[in-house]
A and B are shown apart, each in its own frame.
Chain A
């Protein structure tokens, strides 16, 4: 174990770069090491936050619970597509009520009801 000590300085440099690199670079590093997944937004229900063609980074396998305001990627409960929607509220039984940011052009929990946590793929951390 003692021999691995030479690794500390370079690791420290990487760590400091990671901390000082700004939020976006940090997200890119997390993506590069497989902690974030990229998705490309299609359709208009998340306007004005995301428009068609925007790419987002998504934290997969996070332990922290979802809270209102989080944007999440979810499996559509009735169709073979993945959705991007915002958590409007968390119900007492833990299910999430999802809404689009553009309610006039959004099919969401108003149509298909609240969604169980197992259907959520991850939390959107920002634009790619």
Chain B
């Protein structure tokens, strides 16, 4: 009997049904947002250290730091939005009722640190991402220690 059915399977393949999962399944990690936010924090510090210097080299360096800060702030925001809209599902809201506000505030901080030179907001963004890290891994029932690269 097994032989016959396997021959049927081989010769007359059945129509496909999808045990479906969108996108690169399960490959989400708040670490990508954290790395970008760390770059923003670092650039903010470096920009502040250049204050008062007016030589050409410093001006050149300053504009490079600004460009990197804005780029990384945008990346951090995009990574957070992907996590928020693609990974998190309505069921997660039951355990984390503040989820939407947490992401909204974190995304707003990304906008702030892009526009401003604010050490305070850059550190707040890092704290927000640490919070999201903890929420994220708790939904997967995994203990992943938060760390920073710098």
Task: Mark A residues whose CB is within 8 Å of B.
Answer: 24-25, 28, 37-47, 50, 52, 55-56, 73, 76, 81-85, 100, 102, 104-107, 110-111, 128
Within 8 A of A (CB), among B66-121: 89-91
Complexed CA–CA distance, A39 and B89 (Å): 29
Task: Mark B residues whose CB is within 8 Å of A.
Answer: 1, 5, 8-9, 13-22, 25-26, 89-91, 140
Complexed CA–CA distance, A50 and B9 (Å): 16
Which residue among B1, B18, B140 has the maximum number of chain A CB atoms within 10 Å of its CB? B18
* A43 and B20 contact, CB distance less than 8 A: yes
Q: Given A44-B25, A55-B9, A105-B25, are A100 and B14 also a contact pair (CB < 8 Å)?
A: no
Q: What's the nearest-Cβ distance from chain B to residue A97, in Å?
A: 11
| Nearest chain A residue, comparing its CB with the CB of B5 | A128
Q: In the complex, which of the residues A45, A50, A55, A128 contacts B20, with contact meaning CB atoms closer than 8 Å?
A: A45
Complexed CA–CA distance, A57 and B1 (Å): 16
| Nearest chain A residue, comparing its CB with the CB of B23 | A107
Which residue among B1, B20, B25 has the maximum number of chain A CB atoms within 10 Å of its CB? B20
Additional 13 contacts, C-beta under 8 A, given A52-B19, A55-B9: A41-B19, A44-B19, A44-B21, A44-B25, A45-B18, A50-B19, A76-B18, A82-B16, A82-B17, A84-B17, A104-B26, A105-B21, A110-B90
